[in-house]
Structure 1
C-alpha cells in the first residue's frame, strides 16, 4: 500500500467518527436539555522528504524545503458545547428550565446500595411517593431518580398541596388546600467549571470522574454549588436542545465531501498502481 492510500484510509476512519457525532447531534435535535458535541482534528505524524540535494536551487523558496509526507489526520477531541438551548414554555408547574449555560440539576440515585448523584439539564420532573415517608411525595425525573435540594436531600411534599411555586431565590413553596404555604427547600444547582471532564451517562446525564486527583484536579477546580436564584431557573418551562440543525446539516455535507475526496484518492492510487503493473518491456 503506498503512502497516499495510507493517509486517505486513516483519515476516512476518523471522518466516520465525526459523521457518527454529527448524526448523534441531529438525532437529538428535539431532546430536552441535550448538549451538542463537536469534533476537532489534528495531524498525525509526518516525515520530511528532502528531494533536492543542491540547496542552491531552494533559494527564495517561501515554504519549508522538501516535501512533508503525513499519515493522515485524527480526531483530537470530541468536546461538549454547553451553549444555551431555547426556552420552551410548557405550563407545567414541575417543569424547570435553567437559564445559565454551565449549570446543572443534581439528581440523586442509588447504585449497588450506595447513594450517589449525577447531573442533567433535563428539567421535566414528576411526583412520586417518598420512600422515606409514604405520607409524602417527592420530585423525581423520568427515570424515577430524585431531584436534590441545597442540602443534598430529596424534596418532601405534603399530599394535600394544591399549588407549587418557585420563588425568586430558588425556593420551592407548596400551597396547601387550606390556603397556607409550606417551604420545601431550595433547588440545588451545580456549576461546572471544567465541562470537558464530564463523563456521559446517556439520556443527557453526566457525572464527574471518580478520581479527580488522577487528573491533577480537586473538586473546587471542577464544580461549585450555586443557589437556583432568579435568572437561573424558570418555572413552567424546559430547555430545548442547543443543536442548530442547519449548521449540523451543513457540517454533515462538508464531512461527506471530505470522505468522498479521500475515497477518490484511494481509487486514483489503485489506478496508478494498475498502470505501473501493466507496463511491459
Structure 2
C-alpha cells in the first residue's frame, strides 16, 4: 500500500502541473502572439535490483507518472487589424529578436512595438529589438512593407527615407524553445541555433503593418482538457485517501 501512496502522489503532482499550464493558456487568450503550452507525461518504472543481481531479465514495475516536458505549440494565430503604426503581425515561422535589461537575447512573436524614450523600437515589456532600429523624432508617414523595410518622411524632406529593416529569426525545432515569461523564449539545445533572415525570405514569413497575431489558444480544446485534468486529479486524491485508510486499518489490527 505504500507504493499506492507514491503513485497517487505522482499523479496529483503531474495533474496539478497540467491544470496550471491549461489555466495559463486560458488566461492568455487575448495576449497578442501568445503560444499555448502542452504538457507531456511519462511512466515511472522501477527495476528490482534483486532480479538484476540474479541475472534475471528485469521486470519494469509501474510506479506512477511524471512530467517529461512542457513545450509551446507554435501554430499560427489569427491576424487582426489594429491600424496602429508600430503593430506588426508575423505571418510565418519567424521571431523578433529582442534584448532584455540583462543583455539576454530573447525571441518573441509579440509585434506590439513602440518607440521608447531613446528613440529605439521596443516591445511592450521594454525590450529593445536586437537590431537597434532608431526612429527620428520628426519621422512621419511611416510605412512598413512586407519585406520589413521601414520608410518614413523625415523633417522637411519630401521623399521617403529607409530607416531600417526588420529581421526575423527561425529555429530548426521551435518546439524546443524555453519559455521565460512575458511572451519571450530562449534557445536551447533542443531548439537549435537561430537563423536570421529577411521577411519574405523562404521559410521566414512576412510582416503586416497595422496588424497583430492573436493567441493560438483554442478555448473549447483547453476547457475540455481542463475538465479531464481536474477529474484525474480528483481520482488520484481518492486513491491517496483510500490507501491512507487501509494503512490506518492495518496499523489498528496490529495493536
TM-score, structure 1 normalization: 0.76
- Rounded Cα–Cα distance in structure 1 between residues aligned with 2:198 and 2:105: 17
Name the structure 1 match of 2:199: 228
Q: Report whether the alignment pairs 1:126 with 2:107.
A: no
- Rounded Cα–Cα distance in structure 2 between residues aligned with 1:189 and 1:5: 50
Q: Report whether the alignment pairs 1:84 with 2:76.
A: yes
Q: Report whether the alignment pairs 1:242 with 2:242.
A: no
Distance 1:278 1:196, change over 3 A: same
Alpha-carbon displacement from aligned partner over 1:189-235 (angstroms, at most 9, x marks no partner): 101222244232210012225xx5xx8x9xxx432111123852111
Q: Aligned with 1:16: secondary structure?
A: helix
Cα deviation, residue 44, structure 1: 0.3
Name the structure 1 match of 2:160: 181
Larger radius of gyration: 1
Cα deviation, residue 254, structure 1: 0.2
Q: Aligned with 1:31: secondary structure?
A: coil
- Rounded Cα–Cα distance in structure 1 between residues aligned with 2:104 and 2:248: 61
- Rounded Cα–Cα distance in structure 1 between residues aligned with 2:120 and 2:247: 70
In angstroms, what is the RMSD of aligned CA positions?
2.7
In the alignment of these two chains, the number of paired residues is: 241
Name the structure 1 match of 2:87: 95
Name the structure 1 match of 2:54: none
Unaligned runs of 5+ in 1: 49-66, 131-136
Q: Which has the higher mean CA deviation after the structures are superposed, 190-199 or 117-126? A: 190-199
Q: Report whether the alignment pairs 1:260 with 2:239.
A: no
8 Å contact from structure 2 (residues 71, 178) kept in 1: no
8 Å contact from structure 1 (residues 88, 237) kept in 2: yes
TM-score, structure 2 normalization: 0.83
- Rounded Cα–Cα distance in structure 2 between residues aligned with 1:168 and 1:199: 28
Name the structure 1 match of 2:53: none
- Rounded Cα–Cα distance in structure 1 between residues aligned with 2:21 and 2:113: 28
